[in-house]
Copies of this chain bind each other. A is one copy, B any other.
């Protein structure tokens, strides 16, 4: 019966996000369906353990020459910029023919790039591309115009604060591929973390000036799994090697999938408190549903209530409940006038068109093996997912023990993995509070609200932002990441600290 409820929920959500074109959302929803159907295709019970024996053949490649080859001269339709960009492949497993595509933008001020940290950004899904979202619609230096062939500047790009590395992961996502087709069926949290780790080791061989540089891992949505699991793997191998192989300093995750039970309950509670569903439906979900990992079935009253809720939000972009929808993803002959304040809801279409141009792929050093499928914002060839822990909270607790910087942020108009869910998840950790919930001020306004827990773990909201925070609130998102990277608390400058 649980299957029935969740099937209804996720089928409809898939349809909804498909219509409105955002494939990242589609993927997360499809995945949740598989995960929560409990039909055995996704193992949710195991606590995440890093892979101990990594296939390391890739490190043999001559990275010195490769780095120069990866340098991007200029992207088609790109405005002039003063920083360097690189794009290319890092072999993950030579025998399987598995390689990951990365896009790297150095810090905007070349003088600063050598002192600023390295920040890896991962998108979720599973199956969605960090090039599609992070790089081209969220925190990257460019966004794609509505003509699908020219770019405009994102003035609030995160490479104003760091050297930013976008990775398409796992194999099957974006330009990343494997010559072993079973890799597309046998993926999961563990193999992704292992591959991401191998990628990082090898990427640092190719960019040795970043070896030893402070590294931060960041991402959103299902990267709430990827980021902590990669961090855990890095820590594990540093301990085994008894030296700092990778100098990880902290993690930053937004609107993140953290803990299935509280994530799901928080989503429905958010629907209720934001007047999207009726009080009666909210009440029934609270009373009759059990979203814990061990609930195998749900009573009919829960199924009816969740079906009703799902029906009610069908016409919304639940990834930003106040945002407009995309009704016309057609390219325009001339670029529409863009505003940094309002991301175009059809951006996914423009990015798709741009990334599938041959000249763009050549400039990016992408698709060198001539893949037999289009580049997609979210993979359509990735099938199956073997393991996905029901919670990453044990990892977060571990990071706090190891004094890793842990920041969790939430765009407060996202209803999919909303601030309510994130608050419930952190609340379940029962951490003592260091500084209580207060606004953080950016340019005289509340950028959002923040609470710091003893440990140190920071929870911050970004006011007026949906699921993809830097898309909707680029200024506030940049302020947030600057504070995160500097380790400075988000302060309420309007009153004495």
Q: Do the beta carbons of B275 and A324 come within 8 Å of each other?
A: no
Q: Do the beta carbons of B463 and A312 come within 8 Å of each other?
A: no
Q: Kindly identify which residue among B322, B419, B445 contacts A413, using a CB–CB cutoff of 8 Å.
A: B322
Q: Kindly identify which residue among B270, B274, B423, B494 contacts A315, using a CB–CB cutoff of 8 Å.
A: B494
Q: Answer whether A420 and B315 are a contact pair too, CB < 8 Å, given A280-B436, A322-B413, A427-B279.
A: no
Bound Cα distance from A316 to B325, whole angstroms: 27
Bound Cα distance from A117 to B40, whole angstroms: 63
Chain B residues positioned under 8 Å from A381 (CB to CB): none
Q: Kindly identify which residue among B423, B438, B444, B464 contacts A322, using a CB–CB cutoff of 8 Å.
A: B464
Q: Kindly identify which residue among B324, B412, B419 contacts A445, using a CB–CB cutoff of 8 Å.
A: B324
Q: Do the beta carbons of B279 and A316 come within 8 Å of each other?
A: no
Q: Does A8 contact B (CB under 8 A)?
A: no
Chain B residues positioned under 8 Å from A277 (CB to CB): 437
Q: Do the beta carbons of A274 and B275 come within 8 Å of each other?
A: no
Chain B residues positioned under 8 Å from A463 (CB to CB): 321-322
Bound Cα distance from A321 to B446, whole angstroms: 10
Chain B residues positioned under 8 Å from A439 (CB to CB): 312-316
Minimum Cβ distance to chain B for residue A173 (Å): 31
Bound Cα distance from A2 to B440, whole angstroms: 29
Residues 260 to 309 of chain A near chain B (Cβ within 8 Å): 269-270, 273-281
Minimum Cβ distance to chain B for residue A457 (Å): 15
Q: Do the beta carbons of B275 and A461 come within 8 Å of each other?
A: yes
Q: Does A327 contact B (CB under 8 A)?
A: yes
Chain B residues positioned under 8 Å from A461 (CB to CB): 275
Chain B residues positioned under 8 Å from A199 (CB to CB): none
Copies held by the complex: 2
Bound Cα distance from A276 to B439, whole angstroms: 8
Q: Answer whether A314 and B494 are a contact pair too, CB < 8 Å, given A325-B444, A444-B325, A445-B325.
A: yes
Chain B residues positioned under 8 Å from A484 (CB to CB): none
Bound Cα distance from A321 to B315, whole angstroms: 23
Q: Do the beta carbons of B275 and A423 come within 8 Å of each other?
A: yes
Bound Cα distance from A433 to B437, whole angstroms: 38
Q: Does A31 contact B (CB under 8 A)?
A: no
Chain B residues positioned under 8 Å from A494 (CB to CB): 314-315
Q: Does A451 contact B (CB under 8 A)?
A: yes
Q: Which residue of B lies closest to A313 (CB)?
A: B439
Minimum Cβ distance to chain B for residue A74 (Å): 33
Q: Do the beta carbons of A312 and B275 come within 8 Å of each other?
A: no
Q: Do the beta carbons of A278 and B437 come within 8 Å of each other?
A: yes
Chain B residues positioned under 8 Å from A10 (CB to CB): none
Bound Cα distance from A101 to B492, whole angstroms: 45
Residues 141-156 of A, flagged 1 when their CB comes within 8 A of B and 0 if not, give 0000000000000000
Bound Cα distance from A464 to B323, whole angstroms: 8
Q: Does A175 contact B (CB under 8 A)?
A: no
Q: Do the beta carbons of A438 and B325 come within 8 Å of each other?
A: no
Chain B residues positioned under 8 Å from A7 (CB to CB): none
Q: Do the beta carbons of B315 and A446 come within 8 Å of each other?
A: yes
Q: Do the beta carbons of B316 and A273 come within 8 Å of each other?
A: no
Chain B residues positioned under 8 Å from A275 (CB to CB): 410, 412, 419-420, 423, 449, 461
Q: Which residue of B lies closest to A459 (CB)?
A: B275
Chain B residues positioned under 8 Å from A281 (CB to CB): 437
Q: Kindly identify which residue among B279, B412, B495 contacts A423, using a CB–CB cutoff of 8 Å.
A: B279
**Most chain B CB atoms below 10 A, which of A273, A420, A423:** A273
Q: Which residue of B lies closest to A342 (CB)?
A: B341
Bound Cα distance from A464 to B314, whole angstroms: 17
Q: Do the beta carbons of A412 and B464 come within 8 Å of each other?
A: no
Q: Does A441 contact B (CB under 8 A)?
A: yes
Q: Which 7 interchain pairs have the tightest Cβ spacing? A: A273-B273, A278-B437, A322-B464, A275-B419, A315-B446, A315-B439, A275-B461
Interface pairs (29), CB distance under 8 Å: A270-B273, A273-B274, A273-B420, A274-B274, A274-B412, A275-B412, A275-B419, A275-B449, A278-B436, A278-B437, A278-B451, A279-B423, A279-B427, A280-B436, A280-B437, A312-B437, A312-B438, A312-B439, A315-B441, A315-B445, A315-B446, A315-B492, A316-B439, A316-B446, A322-B322, A322-B413, A322-B463, A325-B444, A325-B445
